[in-house]
Amino acid sequence: MYIIKEIFLKSNLIRELVIKDLKMRYSRPTLGILWAFLSPLFVVTIFYVVFSIILQVKTKEAPFFLYLMSAVFSWRFFQDSLVSSATSLIDNKNLIRESSFPHYLIPLAIVVANAINFLPSLSILIVASLISLKGLPIFILFLPVVLFIHFIIITGLSLMLSIFYVKWRDTRYILEAALTILFYLTPAFYSIYLVKGSFSKVLFNIYISNPLVGILNLYRLSTLRGFYQAIKEDIGLLNLVIIPVVFSFIIFWLGFYLYKKNKNSINDHISY
Amino acid sequence: MTTSPIKTTENYNIKMTKVIELKEISKKYQFLKTGVRNIKGNVEDFWALKDISLDVYGGEILGIIGRNGAGKTSLLNIIAGVLSATQGKANINGKVLGLFNLGVGFQDELTGRENIFLNGAIMGATRKELEEKLDSIIEFSELGNFLNMPLGTYSQGMRLRLGFSIIINLDFDILAIDEVLAVGDALFQNKCFQRLMDFKREGKTLVITNQSMDLIERLCDRVILLDHGRLLFQGSTSEGISRYRTLLNTEKFFVGPAQKHRKLVENTKKWADAQSNWGKKLGTKEIIIDKVELRNKFGWKCSKINSWQQLEIKVYFTIRNTAKEPHFGIAIFRNDGVYCYGPNTAFDGYSITELSPGKGYFILKYHKLFLAPGGYKLSIAIWDKFETLAFDYHEGYYNLTIKGKNDVGQLLNMPFKAYPRGHPKNLFTLNLGILKDKWEEKLEAEGVQLGEVKLLNQLNEEKDIFITNEPVKLIINFNKLNSDKDCYLWIGIYREDGIYCQGITQKLNKRVIFKIFFPKLPLLPGGYRISLGVWDSKVKKFKMYHHGLYPFGMVFEQEDHGTVYLEHSWFWRWK
């Protein structure tokens, strides 16, 4: 609990760090904040050309470009946050060595900045879904909750990774490899039915229990109309909601537990 | 060590409340041994601080002094809460601000104003507080319109000013400043000092480290002296500084820079306070120097001796606690602090395994003292294995006088032979004061034209670097020389830093070649310069001079410190 209190107390510092992060991203480019919209669109276009036009991938659950967008945007939030916060303690070693605020605020601020950066992408997705599917699902009301759960998972993982990285500089390379594997393990550009068809029942259940798959399904559920009808027979409430929620809180708690155990030694490890 | 009482009469603002209370603080760092890559790591321990106990009272300005790597920054970090102690307890009452670098987190892309908010937030201020203080920060920084420009356009000085202005306007009870004081021009510096004194008046506590003893002396009420992570001294500023200077001398003159070791002062018990009136005596007092005797060639005790005579220095000591691998060292300084020679048993390749409690003595015998007449001081030391901490060290404690007259202030009296012969050894009309500010300058005269000036080694090869104790020949050629009979050739050997080592004068008798032969040039490693001049003893002026224009260097195969090598031998005994 004291951590929530501390985060609240230090909200000014978090805000300044986030503002710094965003300003450094968008204040110098001529197109400025427009890049927050353009850059995800470019990525999605490339995926679309490759998978839909060249490879002719079709998805049953929703139109392919919406299916793709929902996955790519949320994945980018996940990946960008982890990659930049994993090295954040070392990147900001002067801050750690020269001031006494709690170290976890650095990765936390990075995740917050990335979350803010994710909002334009999310709005593109909602608008595109609204136009293309002529309406939004009722679950859109739960989108903030989904975002919050996603945020909690990312924060926990970021904190853990940043502490691991201080002690083992191999973390970064392991993370890069793990992110690639995880990306292909989530149904970003292939239909869940495809997985169901080729996996055994047990294997499919394991696959679907991946919290990241769960989160992605939650995003799709709350933004894509008709998605729930398409999957409700295959994926139960447990896999859809409970696993991501429980996982997020365990990861968050673990992250802070690790931080608490290591906070006194971070500064000793950071200089070399 | 107990805290020295604070005189409330002098510093009426000092509250008798402890704001910082350190109890036996130790800080250990672990370093990976180089080249070893292991998940568990092959780590080496290093104690940056060991058993530091310290109380700081409200409204005090405390200075932390010590050499680089003494643990000053680690201690400051612990006070500021940036580092945590490995052992011991630190109680800090109040809001601490640590200033280890100006402008922490400054971003080039952001404007000065935006950086104020960012830096302020990092230093722990709230947005509201910063908005309130914004005007005074801007005013103090004197940056005006620059505030709206990106920080990348600022000069280094402007950055520091901005950084300092932010810190100085924030709210705190304790401010820990690490070597970053005094930024900007003189005016701004003055403003900073004023501000620091204001803090003091407001009853705030400052802890400062700095290498400028001048600054420490101006600001601090009290200092602590750290060395190798140990608290060597705490007390009055002037005494602390004087002890620090002594320590610096110790290190500079007795210890080669390469001689560092990881276990440094582990398990060294300090009896620093055992002798209350140690004055300029430093050390851990495991061994105590009891008595020092100087003896001449007949073995008589004396304090005055002639140049080129034998000198024996006998040092009696008491061993209070078993000391492993000690070294003895004796250094000679001229009264004005010029370092002449400081041999020790380590340089000379001796090793003494262990001294067990008891009494003993050691003798250093100089076979010939090539020192010019004048007053000298001796420093006597008994060192630990790694020559980092003295068991006992008496700096400049013993006087030695070399009899004779030395008007020109030369340091050495090295043996040489001159051709042609028949030169006056000392020419007392020679006034070197004329050359005082003429270093590296020339004065040419009509009728005198200097030709080659050469330094030759044993094989008559021209060289500019010689080995200590190598035979060296100096040859001076004049192309043209029309001089009166009152004129003398003056050859001055100077140290690179301008210390006059030795002068040689030769009567000019319309000769054009002069040779000076040093059978064993005893100068120790370093840079030296030769000056030449023609002195007219009638008008007491130089007709011509080339001052410090002929450089040469000395090297030595063994480690030795000082200016001149003096042949010596050691002897010791204890029981």
Distance CA B21, CA B129 (A): 29
Backbone φ and ψ for B459, nearest 5 degrees, come out as -90, 15
Buried b / exposed e along B325-334 (16+ C-beta atoms within 10 A): ebbbbbbbbb
> Could you identify the residue written with the tokens 């050359």?
B435
Spell out which residues of chain B touch residue A24, defining contact as CB-CB under 8 Å. Answer: 107, 109-110
CATH 2.70.50.60 positions along chain B are 279-403, 417-555
- Whole-model pTM? 0.60
| B118·A267 Cβ contact <8 A | no
Query: CB-based contact (8 Å) between B9 and chain A?
Result: no
| A15 interfaces chain B, CB cutoff of 8 Å | yes
The SS3 of residue B293 is strand
Residues of chain B with CATH 3.40.50.300: 59-81+97-253
Question: DSSP secondary structure string, B256-268?
Answer: -TT---TTTTTT-
B105 with A99: Cβ contact below 8 A: yes
How would DSSP label each residue in B34-94? TT---SS--EEEEEEEEEEEEEEETT-EEEEEE-TTSSHHHHHHHHHTSS--SEEEEEE-S
Cβ distance A100 to B96 less than 8 Å, yes or no, reads yes
Around Cβ B157, how many Cβ atoms within 10 Å? 12
Would you call B308 exposed, middle or buried from its count of C-beta atoms within 10 A (0-12, 13-18, 19+)?
middle
Q: Which residues of B touch A96 (CB under 8 A)?
A: 82
Question: For position B258, what pLDDT does the model report?
Answer: 34
Least Cα distance to B559 among B253, B280, B261, B281 occurs for: B253
Q: Please tell me which of the candidates B77, B104, B127 has its beta carbon nearest to residue A12.
A: B127
Instruction: Report yes or no: B49 at the A interface, CB cutoff 8 Å.
Output: no
Residue B39 Cα, gap to closest chain A Cα (Å): 8
Question: Bigger pLDDT: A77 or A93?
Answer: A77
Query: Does the CB of B134 have a partner CB in chain A at under 8 Å?
Result: no
Task: Please tell me the predicted confidence (pLDDT) of residue B280.
Answer: 47
Using CB atoms, pick whichever of A17, A92, A99 lies closest to residue B123: A99
B125 with A12: Cβ contact below 8 A:
yes
Question: Which of A7, A27, A100 would you mutate first to test chain B, the one with the most B CBs within 10 A?
Answer: A100
Instruction: Flag residues of chain B having pLDDT under 70.
Output: 1-15, 32-43, 181-184, 246-285, 385-389, 421-428, 483
Q: Does A24 touch chain B (CB under 8 A)?
A: yes
- Is the predicted pLDDT of residue A149 greater than 70, yes or no? yes
Determine which of A12, A18, A21, A164 to mutate to test the interface with B (most B C-beta atoms within 10 Å).
Answer: A12
Kindly determine whether residue A23 and residue B29, on different chains, have CB atoms separated by under 8 Å.
Answer: no
CATH topology of domain B279-403: Coagulation Factor XIII; Chain A, domain 1 (2.70.50)
Residue of chain A with shortest Cα separation from B98? A99
b/e string for B215-243 if b means 16 or more Cβ within 10 A?
bbeebbbbbbbbbbbbbbbbeebeebbbb
- Using a CB-CB cut-off of 8 Å, the residues of chain A touching B80 are 100
Question: Which residue is associated with the tokens 């050390």?
Answer: B283
Half-sphere exposure of B479 (CA within 13 A, CB side): 8
From CA A19, how far away is CA A112, in angstroms rounded? Answer: 10
Specify the pLDDT at position B30. 75
B96 and chain A in contact, CB less than 8 A: yes
**Which of B30, B32, B34, B82 has the most A C-beta neighbours within 10 Å, making it the best mutation to test the interface with A?**
B82
Query: Across the interface, do A13 and B122 touch by the CB < 8 Å criterion?
Result: yes
B118 vs A19: CB contact, 8 Å cut-off? yes
**3 state SS for chain A:** CHHHHHHHHCHHHHHHHHHHHHHHHHCCCCCHHHHHHHHHHHHHHHHHHHHHHHCCCCCCCCCHHHHHHHHHHHHHHHHHHHHHHHCHHHHCHHHHHHCCCCCCHHHHHHHHHHHHHHHHHHHHHHHHHHHHCCCCCHHHHHHHHHHHHHHHHHHHHHHHHHHHHHHCCCHHHHHHHHHHHHHHHCCCCCCHHHHHHHCCHHHHHHHHHCHHHHHHHHHHHHHCCCHHHHHCCCCCHHHHHHHHHHHHHHHHHHHHHHHHHHHHHHHHHCCC
pLDDT at A175: 94
CB-CB neighbors (< 8 A) of A100 in chain B: 80-82, 96, 98, 124
Q: How would residue A81 be classed by pLDDT, with cut points 50, 70 and 90?
A: very high
| B47-60: pLDDT as tens digits | 888 888 888 888 88
Q: Which of A83-87, A149-153, A235-239 has the lowest mean pLDDT?
A: A235-239
- If pLDDT is split at 50, 70 and 90, which confidence band does A107 have? very high
Farthest CA pair distance, chain B = 88
* One CATH from 1.10.3720.10, 3.90.1150.10, 1.20.120.530, 3.40.50.300 for B59-81+97-253: 3.40.50.300
Q: Give the Cα separation of B249 and B332 in Å (integer).
A: 12
Give me the mean pLDDT over the A188-209 stretch.
84
Determine the pLDDT at residue B282. Answer: 59
- Residue A176: the pLDDT is 93
Average pLDDT over residues A215-222: 89
Q: Is A88 on the interface with B (CB under 8 A)?
A: no
A114 CA: distance to closest CA in chain B (Å): 18
| pLDDT (0 to 100) of residue B351 | 83
Comparing CA positions, the residue from A225, A229, A216, A239 lying closest to residue A73 is A216
pLDDT at B430: 78
* B313 at interface of A, judged by CB pairs closer than 8 A: no
CATH placement of domain B417-555: 2.70.50.60
Rounded distance, CA B440 to CA B134, Å? 53
Which of A109-118, A201-210, B73-82 reaches the highest mean pLDDT? A109-118
Q: Do the strands B18-32 and B174-178 form a parallel or antiparallel pair, or are they unpaired?
A: unpaired
Cis-peptide into B257, omega within 30 deg:
no
The residue of chain B nearest to residue A26, with distances taken between CA atoms, is B109
